[in-house]
Amino acid sequence: MRTTIKDIAEETGFSITTISLVLNNKGDSIPKVTRDIIKKTAKEMGYRPNQLAVGLIKKRTKTIGLIISDIRNVFFSTLAKAIEDECHKHDINLILCNSNDEHKRDIDYINVLADKRVDGIIYGMSSDSDFDKATESFELMNDYFLPFVMVDRYFDSNMYYSVSTDHKYGGYLATKHLIERGYERIGCVTGPIYLKDSIDRLEGYKCALEEAKLMYDDSIIVEGNYTVESGMKAMEYLKDKDISAVFAFNDMTAFGVYNYAKKMNISIPKDLALVGYDDIFFSEILETPLTTIHQPIDEIGILSVKILLLLAQGSKLKKNNYLLKPSLTIRKSSGIR
Amino acid sequence: MRTTIKDIAEETGFSITTISLVLNNKGDSIPKVTRDIIKKTAKEMGYRPNQLAVGLIKKRTKTIGLIISDIRNVFFSTLAKAIEDECHKHDINLILCNSNDEHKRDIDYINVLADKRVDGIIYGMSSDSDFDKATESFELMNDYFLPFVMVDRYFDSNMYYSVSTDHKYGGYLATKHLIERGYERIGCVTGPIYLKDSIDRLEGYKCALEEAKLMYDDSIIVEGNYTVESGMKAMEYLKDKDISAVFAFNDMTAFGVYNYAKKMNISIPKDLALVGYDDIFFSEILETPLTTIHQPIDEIGILSVKILLLLAQGSKLKKNNYLLKPSLTIRKSSGIR
DNA sequence: CTGTTAGCGCATTCAC
DNA sequence: GTGAATGCGCTAACAG
Instruction: Compute the distance between CA of residue A309 and CA of residue B190 in angstroms, rounded to an integer.
Output: 44
Which of the 8 DSSP states describes residue A192?
Answer: -
Residue A28 has pLDDT above 90, yes or no: no
Instruction: Compute the distance between CA of residue B81 and CA of residue A22 in angstroms, rounded to an integer.
Output: 42
Instruction: Compute the distance between CA of residue B216 and CA of residue B208 in angstroms, rounded to an integer.
Output: 10
Which of the 8 DSSP states describes residue B71?
Answer: T
State whether B81 and A61 contact (CB < 8 Å): no
Instruction: Compute the distance between CA of residue B160 and CA of residue B106 in angstroms, rounded to an integer.
Output: 17
In this structure, is the CB of residue A16 within 7 Å of any atom belonging to strand D? yes
Residue A291 has pLDDT above 70, yes or no: yes
Q: What is the pLDDT of residues B38-67, one digit of tens each?
A: 989 999 898 999 999 999 999 999 999 999
The pLDDT of residue B11 = 85
> What type of residue is A236?
E
Q: State mean pLDDT over A285-308.
A: 95
Neighbours of A254 (CB within 10 A): 29
Per the structure, the residues numbered 151 to 170 in protein chain B that have their CB within 7 angstroms of any atom of strand D are none
The pLDDT of residue B284 = 87
The pLDDT of residue B67 = 98
Bases on strand C under 7 Å from any protein CB: 1-5, 7-13
The pLDDT of residue B26 = 82
Q: How far is the CA of A232 from the C1' of C10 (A)?
A: 58
Greatest alpha-carbon pair distance for chain A in Å reads 88
pLDDT-derived band at B10 (thresholds 50, 70, 90) equals: confident
The pLDDT of residue B68 = 97
pLDDT-derived band at B195 (thresholds 50, 70, 90) equals: confident
Bases on strand D under 7 Å from any protein CB: 1-5, 7-13
Residue A32 has pLDDT above 90, yes or no: no
- Annotate B220-260 with DSSP letters as a single string: GEEE--SSHHHHHHHHHHHTTS--SEEEESSHHHHHHHHHH
Residues of A in contact with B290 (CB under 8 A): none
Per the structure, the residues numbered 46 to 85 in protein chain B that have their CB within 7 angstroms of any atom of strand C are 47-50, 53-54, 56-58
Average pLDDT, chain B: 94
Q: Which nucleotide is nearest to B18 (CA to C1')?
A: D2
Identify which of B172, B69, B152, B161 has the alpha carbon closest to the alpha carbon of residue B120: B161
> What type of residue is B289?
P
* CA dist list (Å): A247 to A141, A158, A275, A325, B263: 38, 32, 5, 18, 27
Identify which of A113, A44, A160 has the alpha carbon closest to the alpha carbon of residue B95: A113
The pLDDT of residue B337 = 62
Q: What is the pLDDT of residues A227-243, one digit of tens each?
A: 999 999 999 999 999 99
Q: State mean pLDDT over A205-221.
A: 97
Instruction: Compute the distance between CA of residue A185 and CA of residue B63 in angstroms, rounded to an integer.
Output: 54
Instruction: Compute the distance between CA of residue A238 and CA of residue A290 in angstroms, rounded to an integer.
Output: 19
Hey, of B70, B105, B116, which one would you mutate to test binding to chain A, going by the most A CBs within 10 A of its CB? B116
Residue B25 has pLDDT above 90, yes or no: no
pLDDT-derived band at B213 (thresholds 50, 70, 90) equals: very high
Residues of B in contact with A80 (CB under 8 A): 71, 96
The pLDDT of residue A11 = 85
Residue A70 has pLDDT above 80, yes or no: yes
Q: How far is the CA of B28 from the C1' of C16 (A)?
A: 19
pLDDT-derived band at A337 (thresholds 50, 70, 90) equals: low
Q: Chain A residue with minimal CA distance to B55? A: A52
Name the percent of chain B lying above pLDDT 70.
100
On the CB side of A166, CA atoms within 13 Å amount to: 12
Q: What is the pLDDT of residues A110-166, one digit of tens each?
A: 999 999 999 999 999 988 888 899 999 999 999 999 999 999 988 888 889 999 999
Contacts for A271 with CB less than 8 Å, ≥ 6 apart: A261
Residue A59 has pLDDT above 70, yes or no: yes
pLDDT-derived band at A29 (thresholds 50, 70, 90) equals: confident
pLDDT-derived band at B257 (thresholds 50, 70, 90) equals: very high
Q: Which of B140-149, B150-159, B201-210 has the lowest mean pLDDT?
A: B150-159
